[in-house]
Amino acid sequence: MKFLKKLCIVTIVFCFGTETFAEEWNVSVWGKRRAFTEHIEKLAELVSEKTNGEFTMNISYGGLSKNKENLDGISIGAFEMAQFCAGYHRDKNRVVTVLELPFLGVETLEQEVAVSSAVYAHPAATKEMEQWNAKLLMTSPMPQYNLVGTGDPRDTLEEFNGMRVRATGGLGQAFKAVGAVPTSVTATEAYQAMESGVVDTVAFAQHAHLSFGTINQADWWTSNLNPGTVNCPVVVNIDAYEGLSSKHKNALDGSIEEALDHYLDNYGKLLSKWDSVLAEKGVKKIEIGDSVIAEFRKKAADPIRDAWIKDMEAQGLPGQELYDLVMKTLAKAKASN
């Protein structure tokens, strides 16, 4: 929100005024500060530093909106920046759901940044987000999801049949393809769903299993299922962004890469200690057999991808082009490693 600050230097008779515009943005996220929000925290820090405190961000963890309503809040200008996950409302952000298709083959967080950035820059993504008065700013890269569960380990497709799993978006579709029963309870509801027996298993990235406590309910964790991940953009209200002074806009745009680098470094430290976390909490590490993963991929990857492309094309969106963009960008990213 813009306001005018007037600094008056008073002499015997005169008041000399110099005008400086200060900018204060509200940012809507959820849960608590964790690896998933570190790029937002870093972005706020960098922007404030570069503008000598003229441009500040108030990051609210659940105080401004429910996580499934953040995009709606952006659209009406209730706050200037927000984070959301595509799987929470797939009909509102159809383009970026290409990044949630199962078994895309993304292996690292750096690769996830590359493919997300390519899709976010596509005109179809820009146009769709404009319907919500939103501009895609940066991604929140997450590693491949894996399951934690209670009771005996489930490491075959037969044992997935009937399994109640917290999984959203393309991951939910993948598990459904092998007979599981997905539910899309929010991240903040996952622990209670697991504790009460509403779900048998929860699919999360490592940071979320820690942050939302599902690891504390778990008896086992699948270390290599890697069916895919969810895509969670950070967006800004277009009017707020366009209303920034050139100095403040440059500070914001010029801080994104450094904020993401900080995120990747921080998340890497979490991943490096994951095995010790499992040992500390007494959670058994389960290796899924190659043949099981191959069968899972056969039943989930191609059919879901083909159905997604057909559905997008029927809605006038370039489904095939978007999928090809992901594959081309991923191949380039792998080649450069």
The per-residue DSSP string of 296-315 comes to: HHHHHHHHHHHHHHHHHHHT
Helix (H) or strand (E) holding 323: helix 319-336
CATH superfamily for 146-228+282-336 is: Bacterial extracellular solute-binding protein, family 7 (3.40.190.170)
List the structure tokens of 170. Answer: 């393309």
Domains 28-140+234-271 and 146-228+282-336 share a fold: yes
8 pLDDT higher than 70: no
pLDDT of 185: 86
Q: Assess whether pLDDT exceeds 90 at residue 324.
A: yes
Cα-to-chain-centroid distance, residue 139: 6
The pLDDT score that the predictor gives to residue 19 is 53
Q: How far is it, in rounded angstroms, from Cα 44 to Cα 25?
A: 10
* Residue 89 scores a pLDDT above 50: yes
Q: Are strands 284-286 and 146-149 parallel, antiparallel or unpaired?
A: unpaired
Domain map (residue ranges) of the chain:
28-140+234-271, 146-228+282-336
- Alpha-carbon span 325 to 117, nearest angstrom: 11
Residue 161 φ then ψ, to 5°: -60, 120
In Å, how far are 5, 54, 301 from 19, measured between CA atoms?
6, 12, 58
28-140+234-271 placed in CATH 3.30.70.270: no
Q: Which residue has the higher pLDDT, 296 or 3?
A: 296
The set of residues, in sequence order, having a beta carbon less than 8 Å from that of 160 and lying 6+ positions away, is: 154, 175, 178, 179, 180, 296
Provide mean pLDDT across the span 19-31.
88
Do 141 and 112 meet the contact criterion of CB atoms below 8 Å apart?
yes
Q: How confident is the prediction for the chain on average, in pLDDT?
A: 92
Cβ-based neighbours of 289, under 8 Å, separated by 6 or more: 155, 156
Is residue 6's pLDDT more than 70? no
**What pLDDT is attached to residue 212?**
92
pLDDT greater than 70 at residue 207: yes
| Res 13 pLDDT > 60 | no
Q: So what's the pLDDT on residue 217?
A: 93
- Interior/surface letters 14-44, b for 16+ CB within 10 angstroms, e for the rest: eeeeeeeeebebbbbbbbeebbbbbbbbbbb
What is the value of pTM for the model shown? Answer: 0.85
Contact (CB, 8 A) for 217 and 90: no
What sign has the CA pseudo-torsion 303, 306, 309, 311?
Answer: negative
Q: Residue 317 in 3-state DSSP? A: coil
pLDDT for residue 337 is more than 90? no
In the block, which residue shows the tokens 């095995």?
275
Tell me the two tokens of residue 94: 């159809």
Tallying the residues shown for the chain, one arrives at 337
Tokens of 52: 């000598």
Q: What is the mean pLDDT of residues 271-275?
A: 91
> Residue 334 is which amino acid?
K
More confident residue, 9 or 309: 309
The whole-number pLDDT of residue 168 equals: 87
